[in-house]
């Protein structure tokens, strides 16, 4: 996101407590180290700058961890976020872009999933995101805080220029793990369930490139700054790929054979999650450019090679 903002010559400052972010990812940009709920710090920041919008990427995102440690999730994802919103209201900053998630929908009743689909999150992570969306509705109504919630489906890929990519510890996401199996950093990839009611029995997801997600944020800022009403948008390519198809694409992108182990289903995994992003296209003018799975894998593989193996892709 920072790379894109800089490219567009939009001035920004990053606030991060570096609990999972890495300093080197934002090298060359202004970084303030601190927490979202540090009211004194935020007040000082908001009073000393002319800030027109805030983008929030600061949630914890591990579904499994949210089940065993919900307090961590409600504290950071809801309470700290509300503290930020209160600070924005106090400083009359009116525009807010929120990273939301397909997890707010829970197990889909129909697919592709549009914005009207019932919200029945099935884990604390999804519930925290849905709570913030509801808080935002109330804050708009009462305080005129305008917000765009961007509900990412499966964020994937890496900066096409090769400067940033996924780096979680521990890593739990399919694409980075498949590529670790290709590069030899893992022995194999485990498929979590091959008895779902899908064509090949494995779960289907809508993988959306991080560059396309970043573009959606830029469009969302523009939309709000031009007077747009608060909006909620599902962001995906509208095309699902199974775990098997992702592994096949990874073998093509890397030219390597990937060892597969068939494991049990992972708790809380819906069989199919695919987005209907018509609203984002029509209202924000969003046009994903990197929808092809092979391109997503290619960029992620470039990052795996450069960052973790020290090789030029």
Q: Are the CB atoms for 202 and 196 separated by under 8 Å?
A: yes
We find the least distance from the C-beta atom of residue 66 to ligand UDP, in angstroms, to be: 12
Site string for ligand UDP, 230-249 (x = CB under 6 A): -------------x------
Q: Which of 58, 174, 235, 253 binds ligand UDP (CB under 6 A)?
A: 174
Tokens 């909620």 correspond to: 232
Nearer to ligand UDP, 45 or 167 (CB): 167
We find the least distance from the C-beta atom of residue 179 to ligand UDP, in angstroms, to be: 11
Q: Does 203 bind ligand UDP (CB under 6 A)?
A: yes
Q: What is the largest CA-CA distance in the chain?
A: 56
From 73, 74, 110, 125, the catalytic residue: 125
Q: Are the CB atoms for 190 and 267 separated by under 8 Å?
A: no
We find the least distance from the C-beta atom of residue 274 to ligand UDP, in angstroms, to be: 11
Enter the DSSP assignment of 197.
Answer: S
CB count within 10 Å of CB 285 equals 12
Stretch that binds ligand UDP, among 92-100, 119-127, 140-148, 187-195 (CB under 6 A): 187-195
Q: Which of 56, 94, 151, 205 binds ligand UDP (CB under 6 A)?
A: 205
Sheet holding 241-242, edge to edge: 241-242, 204-205, 272-273
Cis peptide before 170 (omega within 30 of 0): yes
Opening angle at CA 287, ends 286 and 291, nearest 5: 130
Q: Which of 83, 183, 190, 278 binds ligand UDP (CB under 6 A)?
A: 190
Distance CA 8, CA 50 (A): 18
Instruction: Compute the half-sphere exposure of residue 189: CA atoms within 13 Å on the CB side of its CA.
Output: 24
Stretch that binds ligand UDP, among 19-27, 82-90, 162-170, 183-191 (CB under 6 A): 183-191
Stretch that binds ligand UDP, among 76-84, 88-96, 107-115, 188-196 (CB under 6 A): 188-196
β partners of residue 101: 152
β partners of residue 204: 242, 272
Active site residue 125: yes
Residues 135-154 that bind ligand UDP (CB under 6 A): 154
Which residue ranges make up the site for ligand UDP (CB under 6 A)?
A: 154, 172-174, 177, 189-192, 203, 205, 243, 266, 269
- Give the active site residues: 125
């Amino acid at each position: 996101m920072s790379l894109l903002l800089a490219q567009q010559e939009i001035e920004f400052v990053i606030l991060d407590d570096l609990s999972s972010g890495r300093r080197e990812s934002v090298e060359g940009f202004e970084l303030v180290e601190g927490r979202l709920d540090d009211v004194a710090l935020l007040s000082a920041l908001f009073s000393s700058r002319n800030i027109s919008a805030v983008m929030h990427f600061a949630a914890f995102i591990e579904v499994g961890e949210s089940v065993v440690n919900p307090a961590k999730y409600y504290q950071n994802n809801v309470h700290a976020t509300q503290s930020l919103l209160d600070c924005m209201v106090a400083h009359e900053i009116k525009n807010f872009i929120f990273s939301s998630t397909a997890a707010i929908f829970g197990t889909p009743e129909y697919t592709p999933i549009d914005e009207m689909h019932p919200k029945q999150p099935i884990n604390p992570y999804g519930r925290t995101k849905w709570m913030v969306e509801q808080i935002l509705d109330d804050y708009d109504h009462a305080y005129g805080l305008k917000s765009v919630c961007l509900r990412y489906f499966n964020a994937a890929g890496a900066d096409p220029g090769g400067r940033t990519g996924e780096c979680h510890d521990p890593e739990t996401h399919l694409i980075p793990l498949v590529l670790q199996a290709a590069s030899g950093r893992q022995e194999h990839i485990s498929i979590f369930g091959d008895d779902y009611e899908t064509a090949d029995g494995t779960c289907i997801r809508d993988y959306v490139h991080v560059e396309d997600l970043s573009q959606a944020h830029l469009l969302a800022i523009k939309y709000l700054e031009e007077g747009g009403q608060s909006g909620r948008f599902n962001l995906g390519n509208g095309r699902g790929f199974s775990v098997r198809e992702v592994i096949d694409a990874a073998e093509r992108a890397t030219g390597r054979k990937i060892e597969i182990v068939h494991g049990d289903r992972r708790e809380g995994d819906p069989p199919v999650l695919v987005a209907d992003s018509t609203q984002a296209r029509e209202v924000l003018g969003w046009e994903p450019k990197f929808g092809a799975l092979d391109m997503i894998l290619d960029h992620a593989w470039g990052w795996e090679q450069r960052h973790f193996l020290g090789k030029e892709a």
